[in-house]
Amino acid sequence: MRVRWITHGQADKLLKQINLPWMVDVCRFALATGARANEILSLTWDNVDEGRKLAWVTSDNSKSGKPRALPLNDDAMSVIADRRGSHRRLVFTRGTDRQISQVDARALNRACEAAGIHDFRFHDFRHTWASWHVQSGTPLFILKELGGWETVEMVKKYAHLNADHLAQHANVVTFWSQQQAEKKKAA
């Protein structure tokens, strides 16, 4: 399984290179929520609860076919505020009345090239979001729920990015350091 992610600095650089305002908003929202392209592009205002900071991915727009809550952090709420009033029904549009059917891969590829980022696709924003969560200590079970994955096995591919949970157990079995500590105690 391919896991490609970028750093915060690379993400900032990439966003500055995208020349389509709607595409910048879609990418910002993806980085803030980990939502899939279809979940973002099909999002309607009636499925956004700004008061509770939630969006609802409907069963017909989710990969699993099951509806789920999409928590909106402050970055996602900023995108929502920026999009407010842009369309009566759809959150993300190109300024027309039609729903966007797919992200603009050419614009993303040009921006990646300009930012010096290689081998990066739109779905990698989801990998980036998940990687950032793991690196910040989000437990895998919580990440599973946040990202709408079916099993913890599906999110284990990110586990190697943060070994902090292992560090607390590393000194459980030692030999030489215990001997040194005992010698110091005796002295």
The catalytic residue among 53, 68, 94, 123 is 123
Whether 158 is a known active-site residue: answer yes
Neighbours of 132 (CB within 10 A): 19
**CA–CA separation, 66 vs 44, rounded Å?**
17
**Cα-based angle 117, 123, 129 (whole degrees, multiple of 5):** 80
The catalytic residue among 8, 63, 160, 165 is 63
Whether 56 is a known active-site residue: answer no
Distance of CA 74 to the CA centre of its chain: 13
Whether 4 is a known active-site residue: answer no
The catalytic residue among 83, 126, 133, 144 is 126
Whether 123 is a known active-site residue: answer yes
**CA–CA separation, 83 vs 149, rounded Å?**
27
Alpha carbons within 13 A on the beta-carbon side of 63:
9
Which tokens belong to 174? 């030692």
Whether 185 is a known active-site residue: answer no
Which tokens belong to 46? 């009636």
H-run or E-run covering 31: helix 21-33
**CA–CA separation, 15 vs 108, rounded Å?**
9
The catalytic residue among 5, 22, 28, 36 is 36
Catalytic residues: 36, 63, 123, 126, 149, 158
